[in-house]
Every structure is written in C-alpha cells, then in structure tokens.
Amino acid sequence: RIGSGHLGGKAEGLLRLKAQLQATPLDRQRYASLHIRIPCTLIIATDEFDHFMQANKLFTSDLEKLADPAIADRFASGRLPATLSEALRTFLTHADYPLAVRSSSLMEDARQHGYAGLYRSRMLTNDQPDIESRLSCLQSAIKQVYASTFFQDPRAYARRMAHEAGYEKMAVIVQQIIGRRHRDMFFPAVSGVMQSLNFYPLPPQQPEDGVVHLAMGLGTTVVSGERALRFCPRYPLALPHHDSPQAIMANSQRHFYALSMRAGQPTGPQAPQQPIRVHLADVDDTPTMRYLAGTWIAAENRIRDTVQIPGPRVLTFAPLRRHDIIPLAPLLRDLLALGAKALQSPVEMEFCLDIGDLSRERAVFGLLQLRPMAAQPFLAPVSIDRDDLNQAFCVSSRALGNMADEKMHDVVYIKPEAFDPARTREIADQVARLNARFNDGNRRFILVGPGRWGSQDPWLGIPVRWHHISKVGAIVETTDQRLRVEPSQGTHLFRNITAAGIGYFHIIHHPPDRLDWQWLQSLPKSEQTEWVAHVHLPSPILVKVDGRTCQGVMKLMR
C-alpha cells in the first residue's frame, strides 16, 4: 500500500475477500490440484490522487468543460509526486511480471451504484530492459486512470445517480496478471465472472444457484459482452441455451484477448499496452487447448471432447465442466458462498485460471475482484394483470428491475428493415445523438434494438457506452435473424443499468414474449436517421416490471 487515504471500492472488496479466505480457509484436500490466491497487488490510496491534482493545478470545474482526449492530455503532462514515483520504482524492483493498472474509486463497486467499467484500466507488459522505462509506462498508466475520473461516461452516470462529480476520488490497484506466455502473447487459460444470483434460470436451476460466464484468455471477452460460455455451477454439465452441436458452435467464443509481448512495440509513456484480439486458430498448438476445447466432427454431427483429432475447435470448456481434472464447479460454488459471507450480500466475482502441465505443476486460480451485485429495487409489489398483458405492445418473460412508470412518452428504436450488423458502430453514434436531445429536463425514453446492448463485439449488438444512453428509462433487447444472443448479464453495462433502476426487457421468439413492431413503425416519427427512429406519443407509456417473476409489459395509457 502507498498512501494513507481511502482505498476505494474495488480494493476494499479484495481486502474483505482476503480476510474471509483467512477466516474460512477452503478445503485443501479437495482443491489440492489448485493454487488459489489473490494476485500480488499494490494499492495506491486516494491521498496520492489529491496530491497529484493539487500539485498540477487540475481543478474539477475546469476539467468538466473538456472532452475526454483533452482531459487525458492534461493529466499526461502532469507529474506524479516524487515520493509516489520512488515507491513505484521500489515496487518494480520486485515486480517483474505483466501488470494490470485498475481504478478503485470511492463510488466504484458499491451495491447501489456500480460505476462498473466506466473508468480506464491499463495493462502493461512490464518487460522493458531498464527499470526507468518500466517506471515511465507505469506512471503513464496511473495518470490515465486518474484522468478517467472526469471522463464523459462516469460524469453522465454520476448525473443519472444524482452524485456530485467533485466528491469522487480515485485510488489505483496495480495487480499482477496471472497467465503464461505463448509465443509473443501472454494470457491466462480462462477468465470469468461468477454471480450469486442468476436472473435467467432454466429448470431445474434456481436463481440462488448462481451463474458463471467463462471465456478463454483475458476477461475483456466477458465484461464487454462478447461470446462467452454461460452455465450454472450447480449443474455444470447442462447447457440449456445450446440444445444442439450447431447451437453450441454458433454461440461459442471465436476470438480471445491476450497481451502482446512482441518486441519492438511502442514503449514510451504514452503507449501502455492494451489487449489484442486473437483468433482461436492462431493458438491451436497451445497445450492448454486440451482443457478448454472440443472438436467438431461433421460426419457424426457432434462435438468430441478432444483436440487430438483434426477438425474445427469449439470452446466448450467441457474438460473443466465435466471431468475432475480441476474441480472448477465445486470451487466456484464455494467461492460464491464465501464471497457472499464476506460482503453479507449476493456477490459478483471476477477470476482467472492458468493451466500448465498438470503432471508437474498445480493450476493457478486467481481471484481478481469481489463486489456486491447491483441492488434490485424491490421496494413495492408490482402487479401485472390480464388486461396489462392483453393491451401491451411489448411483453417479456425475461425482464429485470421493479417498476411501474407512466412518465415516458418517447421510444427510440433501431429500424428493423434498415438494420445492418456491419454498421453497429455508426448506429451507436446515431443513438448517442438522439440521447443528447433529452439532456434538457428530466425526460427519459424507451430504447429498442436487436442483440446485446453494450457489447463491444459489434456483430453481437449495438456497442453503446454509458453516455450514449444516459437518458434511457427502459431498454428492450430484441432478437434478429442475424443476431441471436443470450441476454446480457455479466457485462459492465448490465451492472450499471441494474444499479440505475432502468427497466430491462429481453424479447425471445416464442410466447408470451412479443413486440408489436407493426404498431411501433406505424407511429409518426419525430426524428429519424438512416438506422434509428424516434417517436413521441401524446399519451404516456406504462412500463411495468415485476421483479419477483421477471415479467415485464409496456402499454400505451388511454
């Protein structure tokens, strides 16, 4: 630890997890094949942030007038306190491994307001030949995290949550990245997010059985809403969302994220390394693939749990889910229970797993973050009756929140006939421009579109960021013939939506779910772009979500 100020939400979660692991140790015999640990971590407290701001004359009132790049430039030109720089130099004499530099603000990872993914994180190879170059990169990364305190996304979220932006302070976590090098890349075998509550259980699953989102490589895949495997740790063999080999292949992960260790990359203070996106075929020879993938056998119409035969690889994680090579599912269940005890609430936990030659070494299971799940506002019972269902233009059996709102008059939707999955980034920009129309006053709107809102894979949905949709009151995710994805749950944007009390509707293809596109498209348009339309209704729209049954309806008030 450096500094004497606050440690921030993310760091506090790690410290509570560490204390709970010491108070309630895991069964060593059961998990003898695993080395379970929190990676080596340095915490820079908030008083160092205050010293940096004061010494470089960085004032909140000035920064709020600037765009993100200008803010980043102002912070990059600042100097960290000499005592902090010297402490970082000492740290680097011992830390000779890749590093993740993460935010840990006062507001972050609270139960009522997550601020998940709104601040910057940076990853460093930390392999430069001299310590001054490594120190320069680390200093730059810390300043970028500091700068992101004042970026557009957290400012928009603070306004939505009625928080004072000037109150926010930033601590920083510098954490070892667990993994190993394969050629010129560094990555863990597996990363994931597990949650105590599953909002979309399918029989025999219960909400309290939890849910896990698993991906090969760095955790960027999961938290940014890209393709990952979802399963229940109590029923790890069951994949109810994938009822055929073809469905598994269509929805399986095809790329993963790694840290590039290639020689000759920019190493100056303005070039902290970020994960690169790698196709699975590029690492077919890595030994860890045998623990993660199967092979598609077209002649047999099945996926076999081996990579020792020719054919396309499919990431099913079956060797980890089905076999006892590594007792992953029992460990995840135990850790969820332990985390819930530490925070006295349902929790969300980020983790990674590094697997080498298990005949010679234990696998390493890294606990990266622990935070409370975003609070569900179960303040009052919400009743949805037969009349609501009959009169509704939108019905979802997979709705989240708890609300009865009749103040919204506006719907912004992606035009189905014009939708093009190849243009989702441009569509996100058009949504942002319409969102800005609502900045005056306290108006909210309903946002409707295909795929997974907020996915950073543009082929899975519209890659919006928080400030693009900061005035949304309810979100509808529809399915499209070209975009058939599971509902959001493990992403940063999803956590922020839940914490902000925004109604969330996922529409599936069979009853009782429905969305009356014909009626919606027949309404006069107040404004439209190439891909997005805005309609304003004289009568309010009643939006109801029953948090107990996950049922939601939208209907026009008469």
Instruction: List the CATH number of the domain containing 156.
Output: 3.30.1490.20
List, in sequence order, the alpha helices (H) in 500-534.
517-522
In a domain, 329, yes or no: yes
In a domain, 267, yes or no: no
pLDDT at 324 over 80: no
Same domain, 206 and 253: yes
The mean pLDDT of 435-459, rounded to a whole number, is 89
Identify the weakest region by mean pLDDT among 238-242, 364-368, 520-524: 238-242
In a domain, 82, yes or no: yes
pLDDT at 270 over 60: no
In a domain, 491, yes or no: yes
pLDDT above 90 covers a percentage of the chain that reads 72
pLDDT confidence of residue 378: 47
Q: Report the amino acid identity of residue 279.
A: H
Between CA 520 and CA 536 the distance in angstroms is 11
| Tens-place pLDDT, residues 273-302 | 689 999 999 999 888 999 999 999 999 999
Which of 126, 154, 177 is where one domain is finished? 177
Give the pLDDT band (50/70/90) at residue 229: very high
Same domain, 160 and 217: no
Same domain, 114 and 47: yes
| Tens-place pLDDT, residues 403-425 | 999 999 999 999 999 999 899 99
In a domain, 268, yes or no: no
Which of 114, 144, 177 is where one domain is finished? 177
In a domain, 101, yes or no: yes
pTM above 0.85, yes or no: yes
| Tens-place pLDDT, residues 332-387 | 999 999 999 999 999 999 999 999 988 899 999 999 999 998 755 445 689 999 99
pLDDT at 231 over 80: yes
Same domain, 194 and 170: no
Same domain, 50 and 172: yes
pLDDT at 457 over 60: yes
**C-beta of residue 9 within 8 angstroms of C-beta of residue 106:** yes
Same domain, 25 and 173: yes
Same domain, 108 and 161: yes
Which of 355, 375, 395 is where one domain is finished? 375
Element (H or E) spanning 20, and its range?
helix 8-23
In a domain, 390, yes or no: yes
The mean pLDDT of 82-103, rounded to a whole number, is 97
| Tens-place pLDDT, residues 127-149 | 999 999 999 999 999 999 999 99
Between the ranges 308-312, 377-381, 500-504, 522-526, where is the mean pLDDT highest? 522-526
Between CA 393 and CA 556 the distance in angstroms is 8
pLDDT confidence of residue 383: 92
Same domain, 337 and 484: no
Same domain, 399 and 343: no
Tell me which residue has tokens 């830390």.
95
Please spell the DSSP secondary structure of 327-368, one letter per residue: -HHHHHHHHHHHHHHHHTS-EEEEEEEE---TTTS-EEEEEE
**C-beta of residue 472 within 8 angstroms of C-beta of residue 449:** no
Same domain, 315 and 411: no
Same domain, 467 and 404: yes
Same domain, 224 and 365: yes
Identify the weakest region by mean pLDDT among 156-165, 171-180, 311-320: 156-165
Between CA 355 and CA 337 the distance in angstroms is 24
Give a three-class secondary structure readout of 317-333: CHHHHHCCCCCHHHHHH
In a domain, 380, yes or no: no
The mean pLDDT of 36-60, rounded to a whole number, is 96
Compute how many other C-beta atoms are within 10 angstroms of the C-beta atom of residue 95: 18
Range of the domain at 329: 179-260+273-375
pLDDT confidence of residue 441: 75
> 220: which residues sit within 8 A by CB, 6+ positions away?
226, 257, 275, 456
Distances (CA, A) of 334 to 62, 186, 196, 308, 341: 48, 29, 11, 33, 11
* Total domains present in the chain: 3
Between CA 133 and CA 265 the distance in angstroms is 13
Give the pLDDT band (50/70/90) at residue 60: confident
pLDDT confidence of residue 272: 52
Tell me which residue has tokens 């925070």.
343
pLDDT at 245 over 90: no
Distances (CA, A) of 121 to 143, 259, 554: 11, 13, 38
